[in-house]
Amino acid sequence: FAMQSQHHELNTSDSSTPPSLSPSQSDQHHTPPSNNQPTSPGPEYTLATPSRSPPIHQAKIAYDTCTTSPETVCETAARLLFMCVRWAKSIPSLVNLDMSDQLSLLEESWRDIFILSAAQYQLPIDMGPLMSNAGLTPDQCGPDNLFKIMTEIKNLQDIILKFKQSQVDATEYACLKAVSLFKTSEMSSASSSTSTLDSSGSRPGSPAEKLSQLKDLSQIQTIQEQTQMTLSKYESQVYPTEPFRFGKLLILLPMLKSVSAQTIEQVFFKKTIGEISIDRVILDMYKSQVNH
């Protein structure tokens, strides 16, 4: 049953899967479709999304990487983030866990899932206009921090290109996102931090400390193993002439760590959400969809 459930969650051709989570292979490098907005996470902040959007299965935005404005790219990034949260909310193996575990896993994985989505839809990254739009200058953030941000934006460009060159398909993207979502490799035996949001809207403590508090660790590790088994089986069935494809895909995942959540927040979302933590935005967005 566990394997069947996991397979259902990751099968992007399943008719019950929302279209936003199952782009056809020919659509993988298009901008994500616009969607109906989820319940607002709160009146104090909002992400830049259009006030009117057609149903997710009816609309796509085709962009020209040479002419797309930074505002449009940031709007697209916001849609990607909504899609990531909606995708996570659609996975029974996640929503059946304790809520604190759901939030911890999402908080620790949203960066990886967002980058995978950016690669899947080939988000156009033009460093100069994006940094200018975000107000990232030496005076504003300091030369050292500016260099760090520029380096990580370049890393993001390289990641998107690498995934394009690897011709990752929609099912593989779904599996890789699930592998990222249920990862426990940073688990620490130490535990001391609280699980409540602090004044900035973030959950305190290091990733290892937070992950060490998972209540259903054994179950999460089982789901992680099943996810990798699902991907491995898929590779052997769909790409029988590429025996090393499974391993090559997993090797791509450590690349995601070369782009920090802080840089993603500063470049794509800070201008819109202000001083509100992006972690808080994501977790509130997720909790607002609990009963949806």
What's the CA gap between 186 and 109, in Å, rounded?
Answer: 11
What's the CA gap between 59 and 1, in Å, rounded?
Answer: 35
Q: What is the pLDDT of residues 130-140, one digit of tens each?
A: 888 888 878 78
* DSSP-assigned letters across all residues of 150-191: HHHHHHHHHHHHHHHHHT--HHHHHHHHHHHHT--TT--S--
User: Residue 51 in contact with residue 31, Cβ under 8 Å?
Assistant: no
Q: What is the pLDDT of residues 39-97, one digit of tens each?
A: 333 323 334 333 333 333 333 334 444 457 888 899 999 999 999 999 999 999 999 99
Of the given ranges (44-53, 159-168, 263-272), which has the lowest mean pLDDT?
44-53
Domain ranges of the chain: 2-12+25-288
The Cβ of residue 128 has, within 10 Å, a number of other Cβ atoms equal to 10
pLDDT over 60 at 187, yes or no: no
Domain 2-12+25-288 of CATH type 1.10.645.10: no
* Tokens standing for residue 19: 């279209």
Percent of the chain with pLDDT over 90: 54
Query: In the predicted model, what is the mean pLDDT of the chain?
Result: 76
User: Residue 54 in contact with residue 34, Cβ under 8 Å?
Assistant: yes
Prediction pTM value: 0.74
